[in-house]
Chains A and B, each alone.
Chain A
Amino acid sequence: MAKLILSMDGLVLKDISVSKERMSIGRKSHNDIQIDNLAISGEHAVIVTLLNDSFLEDLGSTNGTAVNGQSIKRHFLQDGDVIELGKYKLKYVNEAVQQTTPADFEKTVVLRPDMLRQTVAQVESKGFGDTQVGAAALGLGAADAAATPVAPVFAEAAHVAPAQPPMAAIQVLSGSGKTLDLVKSLTTLGKPGVQVAVIARRPQGYFITHVEGAGFPVVNGKTLDAQAHALADHDVIEIAGVKMEFFFKS
């Protein structure tokens, strides 16, 4: 479950868990998160949570709401976002992102249409309105449908960008001596319809594979088969009669 850390001037005042589908923020006492300060409007902002996603909306407050230094009207909250209300800061921490173990990742779950209509209609028609459908009830229903009580969690934030291999290039060994940097994940070489090979840039390195044509690529004088072949520094490739050298740029 996501939580908010309320602080002022770097001093942490309170941890608040985002337990309700709709959490209001304001100066008046009926708010879920009350901040008793004159810079805060009576009803200042609201956080609406749909399953694992939370949205922040400013309710036309006098002094406005900012997220990460930018004034917003409506904002899709991401783990680590800092909401600023006057001198107060609310840091949004979505622990679902951190607690997820690989086994829990993205089990597809059916969301029954009746549940969905409620949720979407509510948000659409009331603009983050007053009706409350418990987030817990929603979550339970979804899990029921799939018979596995697995949290439907997916986190791009937790998605570690794949490691990239060092930069490499190929240089034509005859005539022009042209150099081609292998910056794309796929670089095709050769003449379409005659002979084409592709060099794939993968986390593990660079691989050459035959794509089309009667002839297969030749690497260091050896003709390849249909399998991908890992390229090493200073390998000499021959495709459609053109020789070129593969090398890492350091």
Chain B
Amino acid sequence: MTTLADVLDVATASHTGMVRPHNEDSVYANSDSGVFILADGMGGYNAGEVASDMATSLLGSTLDDLFAVQPAYSDVSGGKYGEVVLVREISATNRSIYNAAQSNPQYAGMGTTLVASVFHDDAVTVAHIGDSRLYRFRNDALEQLTKDHSLLQEQIDGGIITKAQARHSQNKNLVTRALGVDLSVDTEMHTYPVLPGDLYLLCSDGLNDMIEDEEIAMALEALGANLSLCATHLVQMANDNGGRDNVSVILVRVKCVFPAPISALGAAGGAGNGEHGFWQRIWQRLRYWFR
């Protein structure tokens, strides 16, 4: 049986950049569990690093443990297990960071952005908070799947400012949502179907503020065959352009399909599912053939 690690190729890179004294970004990537997380911390002294590191390591290890017991593709009340658990554990992580900030004066006010993706059953579930992004590169076209929670994005949505003008705004880096700054957090989550050959890019704003989407697309196209080179090159491009912020990337290449095992789906139907399980199996086959 193929495991997720056989399906997903991954490369990460994280760099302080050319200006900042610390790297406040954190990344977490585990192709065995299909969990990929990137966080861009904020807060004085080293609090930003603490917040982003808590976000990636706490959430990452918890999700790994949970998915080792029950696969992310299994159905539970409220949707797929992966989706339900992702939102629940992000809330828990939010409380952990918030409590740490409340109880340690040197961490007061710390917070972090978050983009977390879980691959399961030919799909990717992405949750995000703030302005760290997930892009999908498919058929030589780059598409931004997450929409920033930032003042700038709200202004674009409100028609106050155009996308072209936004590049010249002085109000970048004002996020409207962050992890760890309040008791509760509003997580945005979506699930997208995945196709073989897809290349996913998680990045901090240090990448997309420094280089245009067209340049990102060009790097993914030219270097996609060598993910680790591609990741380091993206960081290098941001630094060559000034590298004014920390820059981090996670690249995930989907090599082939990874449908949920048919037996697992049949079993999920519960008792007396003979008929139901049969049709589900047929449906799975059709999905597999005609994709």
A residues adjacent to B (C-beta < 8 A): 50-53, 55, 76, 78, 94, 96-97, 102-103, 105-111, 113, 116, 119-120, 123-124, 142, 144-148, 152-157, 159-160, 162, 184-188, 192, 196, 198, 200, 202-203, 209-212, 226
Contact = CB atoms under 8 A, between A and B. Distances in A.
Contacts of B223: 186, 198, 211
Contacts of B219: 186
Nearest to A123: B160
B205 interface: yes
B43 A146 contact: yes
Contacts of B173: 106-109, 152, 154
Interface string B254-288: 00000000000000000000000000000000000
A87 to B, nearest CB: 28
Dominant secondary structure at the B interface: loop
Given A51-B151, A154-B169, A160-B242, A109 B158 contact: no
A150 B186 CA distance: 25
Dominant secondary structure at the A interface: mixed
Contact of B170 (A96, A110, A203): A96
A152 B245 CA distance: 13
Contacts of A153: 170
Given A146-B42, A186-B223, A116 B109 contact: no
Contact of B42 (A107, A113, A120): A107
A162 B240 contact: yes
B151 A192 contact: no
Contacts, number: 153
Given A53-B169, A111-B151, A202 B236 contact: yes
A43 to B, nearest CB: 21
A1 B111 CA distance: 27
Nearest to A226: B229
Contacts of B229: 198, 209-211, 226
A185 B234 CA distance: 12
A105 B19 contact: yes
Q: Which of B113, B162, B240, B241 has the most CB of A within 10 A?
A: B240
Given A53-B170, A76-B168, A188-B222, A120 B158 contact: yes
B237 to A, nearest CB: 7
B110 interface: yes
A157 B209 CA distance: 13
A228 B206 CA distance: 23
B113 A108 contact: yes
A106 B245 contact: yes
A97 B170 contact: yes
B13 interface: no
Contacts of B241: 159, 162
B226 interface: yes
Contacts of B236: 200, 202
B82 to A, nearest CB: 27
B169 A186 contact: no
Interface string B215-234: 10011001101100100010
A105 B109 contact: no
A154 B167 CA distance: 10
Contacts of B42: 107-110, 146
Contacts of B175: 108-111
A226 B233 CA distance: 13
Contacts of B49: none
